[in-house]
Amino acid sequence: MVRMSTLAGVIGALALSTTMALAAPGAQGHSHKSFAAGEPGDQSKPVVRTVEVSMKETDDAKMLFEPNRVEIKRGEQVKFVLKNAGKVDHEFMLDSVANNAKHKIQMEKNPDMEHDDPNGARLAPNGSNEIIWRFTKAGTFEFACLIPGHYESGMHGTVVVK
């Protein structure tokens, strides 16, 4: 009799702890987001390189980043200094081409979407911001403005990590 009630208590405790874990905030994987292009930088560690990125529109209706290609060594921590030299809002989202394509679809549905991701920033005209990023994975990644119409107007670039 004592064994049965002890066993029932253990089973009940396990069931409760499993239920609590599944119901906890972040249980769906949001608290430890994985990024294709590496990880947010550590501000207490030195930055190996600073890359200044300008966002702008041209007279022939193109939108672009300057530079639009950056090469990085795997393991480097880089500071992107972002400057919107244009007349409209722009954003900088650093991710894989596939992830940016998914995000682009979300932006088409909600163009005023607020971002708090460490791999991106939205800038008003003449605005500036910085992103510190550590490139832990080799590969080819993309930075892009996913505000509707901007990507199609040429506003995307490449990061090659070797």
Q: Supply the pTM of this predicted model.
A: 0.77
| 127-155 burial code (b ≥16 CB/10 A, e <16) | beeebbbbbeeeeebbbbbbbeebbeebb
Q: Which residue has the higher pLDDT, 104 or 34?
A: 104
Domain extent listing, the chain: 1-31, 33-161
Q: What is the pLDDT of residue 1?
A: 52
Token readout for 140 is 């080819």
Token readout for 58 is 């041209």
Q: What is the pLDDT of residue 98?
A: 95
Which of the four pLDDT bands, split at 50, 70 and 90, describes residue 92? very high
Above 60 in pLDDT, residue 18?
Answer: no
Q: Which fold has domain 33-161?
A: Immunoglobulin-like (2.60.40)
User: Torsions phi, psi of 149, nearest 5?
Assistant: 90, -20
- Share above pLDDT 90 across residues of the chain, in percent, rounded to a whole number: 72
Contact between 48 and 17 under an 8 Å Cβ cutoff? The reply is no
For residues 100, 103, 105, 110, the Cα torsion angle rounded to the nearest 10 degrees is: -140
